[in-house]
Structure 1
């Protein structure tokens, strides 16, 4: 793995927003964010006062974004940070043999956006907006016509694709549906010559164990922070 790729994985939000997913975001050379209906994530070129000022200008009044950082954030002038916890970045370093065919797996897109949002609201796998499905390929499983499980691709950097939004309706858990969907996505990503990675909160032990069984390994540990205006009434929107 080259040093440049290592740097991309160490800063996946910034890398995605300045390359393969620049069209899904806004900002400049100091700070960038995804469009609000795509994802709540933002990133800085570096943690400087100028970059934080640019980020502040990108935020609407009362709006918040999420930053990854190597260390917990300290006080930031004009912004208020809420600590969300530690997340593990996991990667599947070894290619898995096998077919991507699963007769019950369906393709999801904008036409299914409302169904996907309904499932996310029930299962709470993490941030998901009206346009999140534009970030990559999304797949799911139905039961009696109802969407009961899904997973998809979120951040994309050179050579790497993030698997995200892995969720299963509570009534159908314990049947291996999440593992099946992750396997299909993983094999499709690998067949394109890319490597899958994902993020999971460090206290989500059941999910971490599932991903370990599927061949994912811990690569990096981040701190997650929610950022908003310290004084929403003084917000300036670019």
Structure 2
């Protein structure tokens, strides 16, 4: 007789975060929930979307908005929607990730957002919006006033914190800055009694190799489906 794996908050990290630590950012329509639009684009949705769920998602997102859906079992959206892209996603957990403070790191805040958005635009670590900084602790390293590397916290499912926005200015790569910042962010996570985890594109084999070397283990593979809501919604 096969055993059903016990539920983990990491099975539905968006919903777990919005039900708990990030409930203040939650917006809901029917069976679909998401973050406030200027905080993060992520959606908690049924894995098998019925027509009413697609209607709820359209109402939640608004017309012509691009939304990421994780582990969607029926990835062909209804008429009027646009399937933008699909790609493999891996989720990795850092029970063995060695953390350490970083003396060169400073905590980033609201006044740093323009510099963060500039770095993100040049390095493309993933979505970062005007209020993403509110999701958790973000640390950065500056040289001569210029933000050259950063890493921070994103989703907070119960007992876990996602390390995200890991990026380094191309002019300063090869110095291990991203790893040092990851370890520093991880130190804060572990100090709270939580465990780090992260997501990466399955195609980013270099990053996955690095994360494995740092002590992260593959937990699961899934598919990210990017859709655009109907423009006349």
Q: Note the C-alpha offset of 1:94.
A: 2.8
CA distance in 2, matches of 1:209, 1:72: 31
Unaligned runs of 5+ in 2: none
Query: Are residues 1:166 and 2:166 paired?
Result: yes
* Larger CA deviation: 132-141 vs 41-50: 41-50
CA contact (8 A) 1:183 1:214 kept: no
RMSD in angstroms over aligned alpha carbons? 1.8
Aligned counterparts of 1:72 and 1:126: Cα–Cα separation in 2: 24
Deviation at 1:42, TM superposition (A): 1.1
Secondary structure of the structure 2 residue equivalent to 1:3? coil
Instruction: Name the counterpart of 1:192.
Output: 192
Aligned residues: 228
Q: Shift of residue 25 of structure 1?
A: 2.5
Give SS of 2:53's match.
Answer: helix
> Does residue 94 of structure 1 match 2:96?
yes
Question: 1:123, 1:95 → 2: CA distance?
Answer: 24
Larger deviation, residues 174-183 vs 72-81: 72-81
Take 1:146 and 1:21, find their aligned partners in 2: how far apart are those partners? 30
Asked if the contact 2:49/2:74 (under 8 Å) is kept, the reply is: no
Partner of 1:3: 6
Unpaired segments ≥5 residues, structure 1 = none
How high is the TM-score relative to the length of structure 1? 0.89
Contact 1:71 1:223 in 2 (8 A): no
Report the Cα distance in structure 2 between the residues aligned to 1:189 and 1:87, rounded to whole angstroms: 23
Deviation by residue 1:62-85 (Cα, 9 ceiling, x = unmatched): 111111116561343553333330
Residue 67 of structure 2 corresponds to residue 65 of structure 1: yes
